Structure 1
């Protein structure tokens, strides 16, 4: 099972990333750009900000992956239950989200 420490290390392993407070979560972003993921310790979940097409693909990979149940989910925000999802899938999703933020102008 992926722990908070392991998830944080993984999210921070991408160049130029930093952790920041985000409501009741820990946010991970590229410095001077937007967040690509958040982590919630209370239930050991991460919301990873994918594109809607990527979200569709990842949601088929594991029962512990599903759209966030609000407008953010419609835009690609995807919940990963870290106790149910293999580390390799989490890593791939983080890389996709990170790369998407790198491409953006903000």
Structure 2
């Protein structure tokens, strides 16, 4: 599925990212902190966002972008159903997720772009 390949390419394009794959799930980390996960079986990604950004993205399409269940969603983890989300939106959300988790000196390299 092209969305999965696109997601992986964008997530790995950020500086100092480590990709860790176990079974059908892949985690993307910076400085040993996860900023995104990808489930290739169900084409869902989960991104760590601020509460403000989680609401902003969820408001765009609540059927395709929504808070993760239970306490995970309250911590900003947001599910993106890749089959229904445009690549431009994935790019922006991944960049924000990376910047919210990465150390300031790394995040600053991408903040100006968005």
TM-score under structure 2 length normalisation: 0.81
CA contact (8 A) 1:2 1:82 kept: no
1:2–1:65 distance in 2 versus 1, CA, 3 Å: farther
Shift of 1:22: 5.4
TM-fit CA distance, 1:88: 0.9
Partners of 1:22 and 1:100 in 2: how far apart? 24
Uncovered stretches (5+) of structure 1, i.e. residues with no partner: none
Structure 2 gap segments, 5+ residues each: 105-114
User: Which structure shows the higher helix fraction?
Assistant: 2
Query: 1:51 matched to which residue of 2?
Result: 50
Aligned-residue offset at 1:19:
0.4
What's the RMSD between the two structures over aligned residues?
1.8
Q: Which moved more, 1:14-23 or 1:45-54?
A: 14-23
Aligned residue pair count: 103
Query: Separation in 1 of the partners of 2:100 and 2:22?
Result: 20
